[in-house]
Amino acid sequence: MKQEAKDFAVKAHYGQTRKNSDAAYSTHPIRVAERLEREGYSDELVCAGYLHDVVEDTPYEMEDIESMFDSNVARLVAAHTEDKSKSWQERKQHTIDTVKFADKEVKYLIVADKLDNLLGLEQDLQKMGDAIWKHFNAGFDKQKWYNEAIASNMYDGIADADIPGYFCEYAETVERVFGTDKG
């Protein structure tokens, strides 16, 4: 099932590239899924890692995910799919609320995704400097608010023994990119 999810994500995102790069977009969901797999998470969660942007960024719909995989994979993907008809602020607040109140699998998926995005942004900042912010729907201050809110809410409801190491990596990356001496 994991290979099918990877193949489907590569096909669905074919021709798309990462922001500020000519790298194939599919490199992102592959890294997210690989991070989840390294943590030893379920096949369903790893599949959701591969598929997490398919409904949001391609013509495929949630029904396609559910029919090709299963209802749990579809549930995980749906929990992390933004409603693009809403404003940036509304979408990001919804993700923050989801991170705060969702079950741990959904949190694992969202933080793995946000960490990969933020590590890419950090590399782009090193190459391009602050000019990078013009490529975003929201600039430095809003991105700082969003990422800091994810970091401060991701631990809610998770036992210490269930917190993966990459949560700490995310918090550290947020501090490096958006620390108090910046902005």
What is the model's pLDDT at position 103? 95
Confidence label for 16 from pLDDT (cuts 50, 70 and 90): confident
Contacts of 7 (CB under 8 A, 6+ apart): none
Mean pLDDT score, 6-12: 96
Q: Is-catalytic flag, 130? A: no
CA–CA dist 128, 122 (Å, integer): 10
pTM value? 0.94
**pLDDT tens digits for range 97-137:** 999 999 999 999 999 999 999 999 999 889 888 888 877 77
Q: How far apart are CA 173 and CA 137, in angstroms?
A: 21
- Any catalytic annotation for residue 56? yes
Q: Residue 181's pLDDT is what?
A: 57
Among residues 56, 64, 70, 175, the one annotated as catalytic is 56
Report whether CATH 1.10.3210.10 matches the domain 2-178: yes
Distance of CA 39 to the CA centre of its chain: 16
Q: How far apart are CA 152 and CA 102, in angstroms?
A: 14
pLDDT of residue 129: 83
Q: Examine the pLDDT at 83 and tell me if it is beyond 70.
A: yes
Average pLDDT for 130-145 = 85
Considering only CA atoms, which of 183, 83, 79 is closest in space to residue 141? Answer: 183
- Secondary-structure breakdown of the chain: helix, strand, coil percentages, each rounded to the nearest 5: 70, 0, 30
Instruction: Say which of 43, 57, 64, 70 is annotated catalytic.
Output: 57
